[in-house]
Amino acid sequence: MIQSRPAVVRISDTVAGELEKRILEGSLKAGDRLPSERDFAVELGVSRPTLREAIQKLTSKGLLASRHGGGTFVTNRLEAHFVDPWQEMLSGHPMLHSDLLEFRQMLESQAAYLAAERATNVDIERLDALYATLDSVYGSKDMNACIDADVAFHQAIAEAAHNVLIGHMTASLMRLIHGHVSNSLEHLHARPQRWDQLRSQHYTIWQAIREHQPDVAARASRDHIEFVRQSMMNANKEVENRLSALRRQPSGPLERADTGA
Amino acid sequence: MIQSRPAVVRISDTVAGELEKRILEGSLKAGDRLPSERDFAVELGVSRPTLREAIQKLTSKGLLASRHGGGTFVTNRLEAHFVDPWQEMLSGHPMLHSDLLEFRQMLESQAAYLAAERATNVDIERLDALYATLDSVYGSKDMNACIDADVAFHQAIAEAAHNVLIGHMTASLMRLIHGHVSNSLEHLHARPQRWDQLRSQHYTIWQAIREHQPDVAARASRDHIEFVRQSMMNANKEVENRLSALRRQPSGPLERADTGA
DNA sequence: TTGGTAAAGTGGTCTTACCATTGATGAGAA
DNA sequence: TTCTCATCAATGGTAAGACCACTTTACCAA
């Protein structure tokens, strides 16, 4: 009855496994668009029908989605599993932010530790490049660029940890707090000395990973998030104050939290 | 988000639906063999690739099974299909187990740390009860009861940490590895001294939380998972050895040679 | 009967071609 | 200048035919 594994290996299965592996390991991230079927087939050394069968397998698993004339994309199903339940919760219950940052503290310090332990030359090169852009955009005043560079930097650390769960979890958390990061950054932006502190924290983490000092990296990362945490608490307090001042005026329009796009 | 129905109907989807209908209605019964792809394609009025895509869809749903050179058959079991993408990944990519345990090590040691810090009397009472159960079932030889008690104990610790994300993540991970835990436990079961080590490890964690010693609890928890990790590696190695012994018999090199015409 | 071998049938893969849809580009109008 | 809309290249979907690898069956010889 055990139809176990026939000795024959279908090429399309091999290809599907390869794609799945790339998605799992993060070289194909959620939202990424695959090369066109024609190009990709050449790149993988198989014919287009074979590649199509492989894509079809992953599509029926929900990992890929194709749009006629548009392209084939990696879905966020793996991350949605983590993120979806929390997305609206976070808007409705601000006290979750504290738990979230605590979780992030654990996750990122561990990621930094493992990254310092396992980062390859390729990882370090990528980190170097990302740190350079991060450092440069911090000089500018472009808030969005800062957020993007910050997220990319931390994500690269998570991937250098070479643990797929840490990678996906970090990506999920990043997406989750993306909308909320701007708050604290905006708050920090008006305070140059704190702004500089962030830069030096990133520098410390970066160097610790480069020089393969896991404990230093972990502690620096922990301190970094702790700093963000404090800043956010201050920001919230400030917002609170501002709101309570506004609340003294009557006739407030109905507050409705916009869930964003 | 508007991804729902692109309004375009792919022929392969139509065909797949038609086949599925025939199977459900009984005109195609379990064990039946489909006509050959060439004949069937003509009969359905579509091309062979289209029919193949339809068959592939149903194959991945578990309704059909193809044998190279043999034919395509209707299977008896429908929907032995995992809905959790991570669950499926775990089966297909064994290297995930290591990452999973590493993640769990981080998560549970942090949970133990916070639990030792924040556990209320209610939490501790519940932990006491669960530990008592755990200790008693370890005396028996009921494997399932052991697993359940173990999961409940660790889950209670996670909830005593009073961080909703940690609680949720722990529950998710527990569910994910529930099916795979039995392997390592089975392996441990035949080794009484290791079995006792597990008991003492649980005791240490329990006591550290009771006495509010975060660092002790975290380290004990970390050691505990490390122990499980080693055990599982040994178990895998054992399986590996058994498999490699079996592998000496068949001879299927099957290197796919490129014809390079 | 038994064993092996050859032939036919079937799924797997490749090639080529064309169609349908999409998305971006650029021209033209307000 | 800005906006609208038609156009077109890129891309996924479908089709047809061919060849290969494997399985099954039938036949033949011992």
Domains in chain B: ranges and CATH: 11-74 (1.10.10.10), 78-244 (1.20.120.530)
CA A261 → C1' D2, Å? Answer: 27
pLDDT band at B244, cuts 50/70/90?
A: low
Is the C-beta of residue A43 closer than 7 Å to nucleic acid chain D?
Answer: no
For A:175-214, CB contacts with B below 8 A are none
CA A147 → C1' D16, Å? Answer: 53
Interface test with A, best of B164, B170, B259 (most A CBs within 10 A): B164
How close is the nearest chain A Cα to the Cα of B115, in Å?
13
Is the C-beta of residue B7 closer than 7 Å to nucleic acid chain D?
Answer: no
Is the C-beta of residue B47 closer than 7 Å to nucleic acid chain C?
Answer: no
More confident residue, A199 or A153: A153
Backbone torsions φ then ψ of A64, nearest 5 degrees: -125, 160
**Positions on chain C within 7 A of a protein C-beta:** 9-17, 20-23
For B116, B140, B164, B229, the CA distances from B153, given in Å and listed in that order, are: 14, 17, 17, 18
Is the C-beta of residue A33 closer than 7 Å to nucleic acid chain C?
Answer: no
In this structure, of A4-13, A114-123, A196-205, B38-47, the range with the lowest mean pLDDT score is A4-13
Return the pLDDT at B3. 38
Q: Which amino acid is at A238?
A: E
pLDDT of residue B47 exceeding 80: yes
pLDDT of residue A17 exceeding 50: yes
DSSP 3-state assignment of B66?
A: strand
In contact, A27 and A71? CB cutoff 8 Å: no
The DSSP secondary-structure symbol of B83 reads: S
Backbone torsions φ then ψ of A244, nearest 5 degrees: -65, -30
In contact, A159 and A136? CB cutoff 8 Å: no
In contact, B184 and B228? CB cutoff 8 Å: yes
Beta bridge partners of A65: A73
In this structure, of A145-154, B72-81, B134-143, the range with the lowest mean pLDDT score is B72-81
Query: CB A147: neighbour CB atoms within 10 A?
Result: 17
In whole angstroms, give the CA distance from residue B53 to residue A66. 14
The answer to whether the CB atoms of A166 and B68 lie below 8 A apart is no
In this structure, of B34-38, B70-74, B136-140, B216-220, the range with the lowest mean pLDDT score is B136-140
B148-183 pLDDT, tens digit each: 888 999 999 999 999 999 999 999 888 887 766 666
Give residues with Cβ within 8 angstroms of A27, minimum separation 6.
none
In contact, B50 and B15? CB cutoff 8 Å: yes
Q: Residue holding tokens 């089975």? A: B186
In contact, A176 and A130? CB cutoff 8 Å: no
| CA angle centred on A99, ends A94 and A105, rounded to 5° | 130
CA B97 → C1' D23, Å? Answer: 37
Return the pLDDT at B167. 94
Chain A residues whose CB is inside 8 A of the B172 CB are 82
Instruction: Please give the mean pLDDT across all residues of chain A.
Output: 83
Backbone torsions φ then ψ of B73, nearest 5 degrees: -120, 155
Return the pLDDT at B204. 96
Beta bridge partners of B251: none
Is the C-beta of residue A246 closer than 7 Å to nucleic acid chain D?
Answer: no
